[in-house]
């Protein structure tokens, strides 16, 4: 079915793992540890820098490939940015409606909505 010799198949089963595979597995394990310890925030550039700091020579593309294989995707966390500044000296208009939005006739009450936030 596989069109290989039986002896070759059994030799392949018992063959020791190559040094390249061993190194890749070690790097993969270390990438996963660094990723989890960073609260899943680090991407391949930062993980590569950490590995270089530990004396492990590896390229960023290799780290990116390992992360892709293991479905490790960094999450982005936006910093909080206050959008309202209540401490100012500008004039503030009175609330003449006082949450009463009932109008007796057209054009008696006009209102608008100001929504603060980041566009998506």
Q: Does the residue 74 lie in any domain?
A: no
Task: List, as one string, the DSSP characters of 16-79.
Answer: PPPHHHHHHHHHHHHHHHHHHHTTT---HHHHHHHHHHTT----HHHHHHHHHHTT--PPP-PP
In a domain, 10, yes or no: yes
pLDDT of residue 117: 61
Residue 112 lies inside a defined structural domain of this protein: no
Instruction: Give the predicted TM-score (pTM) of the model.
Output: 0.61
Q: Which of 16-30, 49-63, 77-91, 92-106 has the lowest mean pLDDT?
A: 92-106
Domain membership of residue 59 as a residue range: 6-69
């Amino acid at each position: 079915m596989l069109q290989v010799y039986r002896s070759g198949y059994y030799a392949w089963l018992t063959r020791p793992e190559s040094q390249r595979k061993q190194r890749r597995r070690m790097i993969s394990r270390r990438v996963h540890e660094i990723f989890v310890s960073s609260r899943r925030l680090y991407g391949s550039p930062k993980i590569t820098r950490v590995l270089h700091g530990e004396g492990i020579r590896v390229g960023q593309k290799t780290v990116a490939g390992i992360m892709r294989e293991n479905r490790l995707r960094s999450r982005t966390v936006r910093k909080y940015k206050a959008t309202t500044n209540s401490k100012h000296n500008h004039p503030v208009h009175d609330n003449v409606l006082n949450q009463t939005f009932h109008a007796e006739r057209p054009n008696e009450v006009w209102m608008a909505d100001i929504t603060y936030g980041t566009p998506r």
